[in-house]
Amino acid sequence: MTLDELPTPAVLVEKSALEANIASMQARAEANRVAIRPHVKTHRSPSVGRMQIDAGASGVTVAKVGEAEVFAKAGFKDIRLAYCVVGTNKYRRIAELDERVRISFCVDTEVGATLASDFFASRGRTLNVLIEVDTGQHRCGVAWEDDEVVLLAERIEELKGLQYVGILTHGGYGYYGPRGDETKEQALRRWSIQERDRMLDVASRLKHEGFAPGEISIGSTPTMRYFENRVVDGQTITEIRPGNYVFNDLTQVGLGVASLSDCAQTVLATVVSRHRDRDGSERFFLDAGKKVLTSDGAFGQDGFGALLYNARTMVSLPHATISNLSEEHAWASVRGGTTVAVGDRLRIVPNHACVVANMQPKMYLVDGDDVLEELPVDAQSQST
């Protein structure tokens, strides 16, 4: 089958770029002697996850219990919930998963740890937990510079039903980009060092309080771009958890993490209308709106995705921007006119690949114009 036969909008994944992204992150992990546990929220597709495992990943990372259930059902044996899980329904489902797969989750408060402990201890089970550490993103996590990390580790040791296995952070600040006169590369290196060194500092303090190092798990696609492991006080990062790298997107391009040709995921859309404005500029409309491209922006980029002139060479359509989206339409504006005609099909590199993957029940693995296979998004909308 070729692209012409696909109904649009369709989410495509270019095989060569996907394989190259998986291989290069795997090589980076191996060069730094860390396990790689990709965050599968980016694709929510066991078919893609299997390629990551086949390339050498130690297991997978998920955010939601529902994702863990889908991946466990698909045969994945080692699943880390990089999320502070709270709630009886979720503990019950984790306990069920624990009978079949190796599973761990995060805690970052004494209350959260106690709630989980009460549930699992009363059922005679012990679950592996990591302490989530805030190394600067200020989302969840115990502040890295605080005594609270040690206090929480001590508390977990006292609590029945939980086994402390390590610390985990997400360097989400890698998405903040450069400061002042910094280049993009300098910023990515600085954020990467921050994530690594703050975690090694925490690990060192825990070690001095008698806690075995265990897992020291870090990662985001931007902070992994220039990641270099190091040894501090006999301890080293043990695991990285990038997610977005498997596809990349316009955000990674804007940050200097990837180039357009590293973007494996595109959205194929059809031009359904075209009009000329009084000032001579053209507007044309594609059949992929917010419900496909989502309304996420991208760092340092205008609009809602990059329209490609040539998807083989990943060259963008000159002077064109997707300036607006409605639910079912992308509004493209082109300065100085365009040869794009109603009926043409264009590929768009989205701003944020992880949310786009979740918008459709399946993606298509392609090699240029050839459709190779369907990639079902089996964990689509699994957000509980």
Both tokens of residue 384? Answer: 């509980």
The answer to whether 219 contacts ligand PLP (rule: CB under 6 A) is yes
State how far Cα 98 lies from the chain centre: 24
By CB under 6 A, residue 52 contacts ligand PLP: no
Burial of residue 147 (number of CB atoms within 10 Å: 0-12, 13-18, 19+)? exposed
Q: Does 241 bind ligand PLP (CB under 6 A)?
A: yes
Q: Sketch the per residue contact string, 18 through 37, with ligand PLP: x for CB under 6 A, - otherwise.
A: --------------------
CB-nearer residue toward ligand PLP: 21 or 321 = 21
Q: Rule CB under 6 A: say whether 135 interacts with ligand PLP.
A: no
Please identify, among the stretches 237-245, 274-282, 308-316, 326-334, the one whose residues bind ligand PLP according to the rule CB under 6 A: 237-245
d(CA 320, CA 336): 10
Tell me if 256 contacts ligand PLP by CB under 6 A: no
Binding mask 66-105 for ligand PLP (x = CB under 6 A): ----------------x-----------------------
- Is residue 221 near ligand PLP by the rule CB under 6 A? yes
Judged by CB under 6 A, the number of residues near ligand PLP is: 13
Please tell me the distance from the alpha carbon of residue 183 to that of residue 197, in angstroms, as a whole number: 21
Residue 352 binding ligand PLP, by CB under 6 A: no
| CA 77 to the chain's CA centroid | 20
Identity of residue 222: P
Contact between 43 and ligand PLP by CB under 6 A: the answer reads: no
DSSP helix/strand/coil, 379 = coil
- How many CB atoms neighbour CB 73 within 10 A? 14
d(CA 227, CA 43): 23
Using rule CB under 6 A, residue 243 touches ligand PLP:
yes
For ligand PLP, which stretch binds (CB under 6 A), given 24-32, 242-250, 312-320, 341-349?
242-250
Q: What residues pair up with 127 in beta bridges, in sequence order?
A: 162
Residue 120 tokens, joined: 């699992």
Residue 220 in contact with ligand PLP, rule: CB under 6 A: yes
Q: Check if the beta carbon of residue 206 is closer than 8 Å to that of residue 235.
A: no
- Shortest CB 195 distance to ligand PLP, Å: 11
Helix (H) or strand (E) holding 254: helix 250-255
Contacting residues toward ligand PLP, per CB under 6 A: 39, 42, 61, 82, 170, 219-221, 241-245
